[in-house]
Structure 1
Amino acid sequence: MDDLERELRALSGWLETPEPPEVAAQVRARLVATSAPAVRRHRWRYALAAALAALLVALLPPGRAAVADTVTGLLRFAGIIISTSSAPVLPTGSPSPLPAQRPVGLDEAQRSVRFPIRLPAALGPPDRVLVADPDDSGGHRVASLLYQGGELRLDAFDGRLDPVFFKEVASARTEWTQVGAASAIWVGEPHPVSYLDRAGTLRQESARLSAATLIWEDAGVVYRLEGELTMTEAVAIATSLA
């Protein structure tokens, strides 16, 4: 297997969303056309490369679309959308809380959400716990652990749901990193963050200036660690989740 084939096989692992069907049909037709015995092997490889590039632009799969940043200025990673297409509009005034947000004990928080709440061993028990945005059956969408008087925050939510947070980043201070074996995104500067409700509506009234943030996903749960941290410090806290 040469270098191009290895790159294409690695690239195919980022394509997690089977839609839109018309693009998939075009790719299938392209591959069938290039598989005729008379076509040389190198022509098949480059046709496949073109097809995969088209899919990357069209699909923008949640959680695996780094190329989207250079194409559209929108980077979708797990349940968070990051925009770098224009200078962010800084929020004014006091942000509203997330929908139906309320403080609860840790045990009640675990009963209120449909995913396990894990504590970072590096931080210990939180000062406060919040849950927010319940559905009709009472299952809350977001659980937040607050530390250091609320200056350090760990949000957790089901990564299989629709996007939950929308971030605007002006500079190139957004980079890929690792939390264990998982890919993660580090936003290394303050930036506006807003909440996207269950209907997909951007809650502008919830907009606030967020500190540096680490975003990663583990076992279907998305984590967002925010605070006055370096990337090394944030990764160390993230890897201590128990």
Structure 2
Amino acid sequence: MGDLERELRDLSTWLETPEPPDVRAQVRERLHRPARRWRPLAAAALAAVLVAVLPPTRAAVADVVSGLLRFAGVSIAVSPEQTTPSGVASPLPGQRVAGLDEAQRAVRFPIRLPAKLGPPERVLVADPDPTGACRVATLLYDGGALRVDAFDGRLNLSFHKEVIPPGAEWVEVNGDFAVWVDGPHVLSYVDRAGTVHKESARLAASTLIWQDADVSYRLEGARTQAEAIEIARSLR
């Protein structure tokens, strides 16, 4: 419970309520109060409080009972053991190669480049809507072993991950919360209709997930957590 309590105390700084009553002070007081008989119920009760008061654009909702985390357009489910995708990994819907300028015209959010990595070797855009606007832009480095996926964080879920314990951990990028998924894990795409495409899932490498100005990011393939955070901080 020690790690969970520390994470919840950190999350308390995000508590916002647009209208009265303002429960932030009471929640913070409860989080910092010495744990007594409420400790066995802390996980479920405080998770429910966080669901109620976190603003939608920064929603980081952890259901500690079901082992499901939803953050920045990505859902993460904890599995008891590592599984191998049963299907054949396939590109995202409508995926195509594009020049950087063309890719920027194809999406409705700014494409930012990591100064730590420089210009990408290839750029992909995917999942266009009926107007042709794409949902995802991907920057590829190191022959595709290192990739940055960017997508509109205001949209519904875009990716689904299945990890084994300890699964995901909270970290920080530029003062905001992020999630680090250590080690290989199954990655599925969630289409615009909300369908999880497990039949075309693939095994993904360690990944950092964060959000900035309503744009969500997945950095996959960094060698260490520290390297991933350094790359994320260098987005320009």
* TM-score, length-scaled by structure 1: 0.77
TM-superposition CA deviations, 1:95-130 (whole Å, max 9, x none): 011000000100000000000000000100101000
Aligned residues: 211
Amino acid at match of 1:137: T
Alignment of structure 1 residues 184-199 onto 2, 5 Å: 184-199=178-193
1:65 counterpart = 2:88? no
Counterpart of 2:14 in structure 1 is 13
* Higher-Rg member (1/2): 1
Amino acid at match of 1:240: S
Q: Residue 92 of structure 2 aligns to a residue in which SS?
A: coil
Amino acid at match of 2:60: A
Structure 2 vs 1, CA of residues 239 and 124 (structure 1 numbering), >3 Å: closer, same or farther?
same
Structure 2 vs 1, CA of residues 146 and 84 (structure 1 numbering), >3 Å: closer, same or farther?
same
Give 1:134 shift: 0.4
Amino acid at match of 2:96: R
Runs (4 or more) in structure 1 with deviation over 2 Å come to 7-16, 49-67, 85-89
Alignment of structure 1 residues 210-221 onto 2, 5 Å: 210-221=204-215
1:177 counterpart = 2:171? yes
Aligned-residue sequence identity (percent) comes to 57
User: Equivalents in 1 of 2:9, 2:57: separation in Å?
Assistant: 19
Structure 2 vs 1, CA of residues 77 and 13 (structure 1 numbering), >3 Å: closer, same or farther?
same
Cα-Cα RMSD: 3.1
User: Equivalents in 2 of 1:180, 1:159: separation in Å?
Assistant: 17
Give 1:167 shift: 0.2
Counterpart of 2:141 in structure 1 is 147
* TM-score, length-scaled by structure 2: 0.78
Give 1:13 shift: 3.4
Stretch deviating more after TM superposition (227-236 or 103-112): 227-236
Structure 1 stretches lacking a partner, 5+ long = 1-6, 19-27, 32-41
Amino acid at match of 1:119: L
Counterpart of 1:127 in structure 2 is 121
User: Equivalents in 2 of 1:72, 1:161: separation in Å?
Assistant: 23
Counterpart of 1:166 in structure 2 is 160
